[in-house]
Amino acid sequence: MLKISSLKKLVTDSMAIDLGTASTIIAVKGRGVVLDEPSLVAINEMSEEIVAFGQEAFDMTGRESRDVNVKAPLIGGVVADFERTKKMLAHFVKKAKSGGPNITIRAVMSLVSDVTHVEQRALFNAAEDAHIGKVFMMEEGLAAAFGAGVLPTDKRASAIVDIGAGTTNIAIIAKGSVVHSTSERYGSNAINESIATHLRRHRGLQVGEETTEMLKTQFASTFLPEDIAKTIEIRGRDVQTGSPGAVEITSGEIYPIVEGIVRRIALRVKDTLTELQPEVAADIYDRGVILTGGGALLEGIDQYLRSFINLPVSIADEPRYATVHGLIKMFDDPDLLERVSFNELSILQNAEIPFEA
Ligand SMILES: Nc1ncnc2c1ncn2[C@@H]1O[C@H](COP(=O)(O)OP(=O)(O)OP(=O)(O)O)[C@@H](O)[C@H]1O
Ligand SMILES: [Mg+2]
Say what the pLDDT of residue 247 is.
97
Say what the pLDDT of residue 237 is.
97
**53 within 8 A of 355, measured Cβ to Cβ:** no
Mean pLDDT, all residues of the chain: 89
**22 within 8 A of 189, measured Cβ to Cβ:** yes
What spacing in Å lies between the alpha carbon of 163 and ligand 2's midpoint? Answer: 7
CA distances from 56 to 20, 128, 165, 267 (A): 17, 24, 19, 37
Q: Which residue has the higher pLDDT, 125 or 114?
A: 125
Say what the pLDDT of residue 11 is.
42
Please say whether the dihedral angle defined by the alpha carbons of residues 178, 179, 185 and 188, taken in this order, is positive or negative. negative
- Distance, in Å, from the CA atom of 295 to the CA atom of 301, rounded to the nearest integer, reads 8
Q: Is the minimum distance from the CB of 77 to ligand 1 under 6 angstroms?
A: yes
Which residue puts its alpha carbon closest to atom 29 of ligand 1? 165
22-31 confidence digits (pLDDT tens): 999 999 998 8
Say what the pLDDT of residue 100 is.
62
Residues written for the chain: 357
pLDDT class for 162, splitting at 50, 70, 90?
very high
Q: Which fold has domain 4-36+75-146+321-356?
A: Nucleotidyltransferase; domain 5 (3.30.420)
**110 within 8 A of 19, measured Cβ to Cβ:** yes
Lowest-confidence range among 30-34, 123-127, 195-199?
123-127
Residue 289, beta-bridge partner list: 159, 313
**Best substitution site from 35, 214, 297 to test ligand 1's pocket, by max atoms within 8 Å of Cβ?**
297
Say what the pLDDT of residue 286 is.
97
pLDDT class for 155, splitting at 50, 70, 90?
very high
Residue type, 27: A
Q: Is the minimum distance from the CB of 221 to ligand 1 under 6 angstroms?
A: no
CATH H superfamily, domain 189-258: ATPase, substrate binding domain, subdomain 4 (3.90.640.10)
**Best substitution site from 188, 216, 290 to test ligand 1's pocket, by max atoms within 8 Å of Cβ?**
188
What spacing in Å lies between the alpha carbon of 303 and ligand 2's midpoint? Answer: 21
Paired sense of beta strands 132-139 and 105-111, if any: parallel
Q: CA dihedral in degrees (339, 344, 348, 351; nearest 10)?
A: 70
Q: Where are the domains of the chain?
A: 4-36+75-146+321-356, 152-187+264-317, 189-258
User: In the sheet that 105-111 helps form, which strands lie side by side, from edge to edge?
Assistant: 32-38, 23-28, 14-19, 105-111, 132-139
Task: Indicate if the pLDDT at residue 58 is higher than 80.
Answer: yes
Q: Which atom of ligand 1 is nearest to the CA of 24?
A: 22
Cβ-based neighbour number of residue 182 at 10 Å: 18
Q: Do 152-187+264-317 and 4-36+75-146+321-356 fall under one CATH topology? A: yes
If DSSP codes are grouped into helix, strand and coil, which group holds residue 22?
A: coil
Q: Which fold has domain 152-187+264-317?
A: Nucleotidyltransferase; domain 5 (3.30.420)
296-352 confidence digits (pLDDT tens): 999 999 999 999 999 999 999 999 999 999 999 999 999 999 999 977 666 556 555
- Chain centroid, CA 254 distance in Å: 24
Q: Which atom of ligand 1 is nearest to the CA of 21?
A: 27
Stretch 168-188: mean pLDDT: 94
Nearby residues for ligand 2 (ion, Cβ within 5 Å): 20, 164
CA distances from 107 to 15, 49, 238 (A): 5, 27, 48
